Structure 1
Amino acid sequence: MVATEAGYARITWYPAGKARLVLALGHGAGGGIEARDLQALAGALPAHGVTVALVEQPWRVAGKKVAPAPKTLDAGWRGVWPVLTRPGLPVVSGGRSAGARVACRTAAELGAHAVLALSFPLHPPGRPEKSRAEELLGAGVPTLVVQGGNDPFGKPAEFPAGAFALVEVDRGDHGFAVPKRAEITQERALEILTGAVREWVATLG
């Protein structure tokens, strides 16, 4: 448990034996660290030298149902950052959906080594004119976006050109779930996600 300006946050660690960096991941506005993509990364990456830290925002720890305003989410993330950097390793700031936005908005300020944006909510469903591309483009550090091919918050083809890499999980929705009759299985979808992140992390100096 970590005290922040927004209340108590919680960090769950998945340590690597010989870690070379920490990947900190925040959750979205509609769920917690039980999300399938966060759990898949926590299970896969420690074997490849990456300590994973899953961060629960104070509103989730307090049992609330609705996420607070972005500035409050950012305050919670800033509050846990000193603990995330305590192992003395470079920290990749990341998260899914709202957590990805937080990571992008605070990366330069906090000195993040890079940003991992899972299911970045480029716009509200059906509202492409309400673009949040500036947050992504303003991260200021190496950035990887992993996006479902059927994500209503922004399909891969909708993303602007910019200084970030983008990997598509075919047929995946905002939670990387794939249809039961899709050519790709759920297990394979998560393998694509974890494999892409593993390969990208290996390129970070």
Structure 2
Amino acid sequence: MTTVEALLLTPGAGGGADHRTLVAIEAALDGRIAVRRHDFAYRRAGRRAPPRAPAVAAELAAELPRIAAELGVPPGRLALGGRSFGGRVCSMAVADGAPAGGLVLLSYPLHPPDRPERLRTGHFDRIDVPCLFVSGARDPFASPEELREHTAAIAGAVTLRFIDGARHDPSSIAARGAVVECVREWLDDLGG
């Protein structure tokens, strides 16, 4: 079983590392494992719109050795994840060979809303680490049924959690709390 010693959290395409869900996860895990909220290079450069996801994934993969060293953990003991675009980028980096102890994918954008034929899953069969998917049960980017179907391609162990009544962004305090609890329990199960 993988032991996770640190967690890197990345934001959605239009957001920053200060997203309230990422902040809540960091606060809840304080003292258990090291947590780093991380803005992508395009955000740090002051741009709002991201480059294409593969380019962002490659940039993130190049930064991971430094980030792991700063957190004092081997890269394979660092769980990667984030909200929406951030989780997608992390999953692409791992599929392309970046070392990780697991993936924490919050509100994974399986496809654009109302465009289920435009799947963002071509890399799933190259993911071989444990994965946690936490999504709103009413998320227009991925229904529970769609996630169940498409995550079957992932070689690593997959845990799916759905927040009743929530959409893509868990806007209520209760929904954010449920997301935080899902992440905490999953990391505890991994030995983090």
Normalised by the shorter chain, which TM-score bucket?
0.7 to 0.9
TM-score, normalised relative to structure 1: 0.80
Match in the other structure for 1:114 = 102
User: What is the CA–CA distance in structure 2 between the aligned matches of 1:137 and 1:104, rounded to whole Å?
Assistant: 11
Q: Can you list the C-alpha shifts for 1:76-114, whole angstroms capped at 9, x where unaligned? A: 212320122210251001111111111111225121011
Match in the other structure for 2:146 = 158
Equivalent in 98, 101, 106 of residue 85 of structure 2: 98
Match in the other structure for 1:30 = 14
- Greater helix fraction, Structure 1 or Structure 2: 2
Q: Can you list the C-alpha shifts for 1:155-177, whole angstroms capped at 9, x where unaligned? A: 22221152411111111121112
Match in the other structure for 1:51 = 34
Match in the other structure for 1:174 = 168
* CA-based RMSD: 1.6
Match in the other structure for 2:123 = 135
Q: Can you list the C-alpha shifts for 1:42-70, whole angstroms capped at 9, x where unaligned? A: 111123x1211111111111111211111
Aligned to 1:152, what secondary structure does the other structure show?
Answer: coil
TM-score, normalised relative to structure 2: 0.86
Q: Can you list the C-alpha shifts for 1:8-65, whole angstroms capped at 9, x where unaligned? A: xxxxxxxxxxxx6110011111111122211110111123x12111111111111112
Question: Percent identity over the alignment?
Answer: 34
Matched, 1:201 2:184: no
Paired residues, number:
177
Kept in 2: contact 1:115–1:139 (CA 8 A): no
Unaligned runs of 5+ in 2: none
User: What is the CA–CA distance in structure 2 between the aligned matches of 1:36 and 1:172, rounded to whole Å?
Assistant: 15
Q: CA deviation at 1:197?
A: 0.7
Pair member with larger Rg: 1
User: What is the CA–CA distance in structure 1 between the aligned matches of 2:28 and 2:169, rounded to whole Å?
Assistant: 18
Q: Can you list the C-alpha shifts for 1:90-141, whole angstroms capped at 9, x where unaligned? A: 1001111111111111225121011010110000110001112333453210
Kept in 2: contact 1:92–1:114 (CA 8 A): yes
Aligned to 2:118, what secondary structure does the other structure show?
Answer: coil
Task: Report the AA paired with residue 174 of structure 1.
Answer: H
Match in the other structure for 1:146 = 134
Aligned to 1:23, what secondary structure does the other structure show?
Answer: strand
Structure number with the bigger relative contact order (C-alpha 8 A, sep ≥ 6) is 2
Kept in 1: contact 2:84–2:108 (CA 8 A): yes
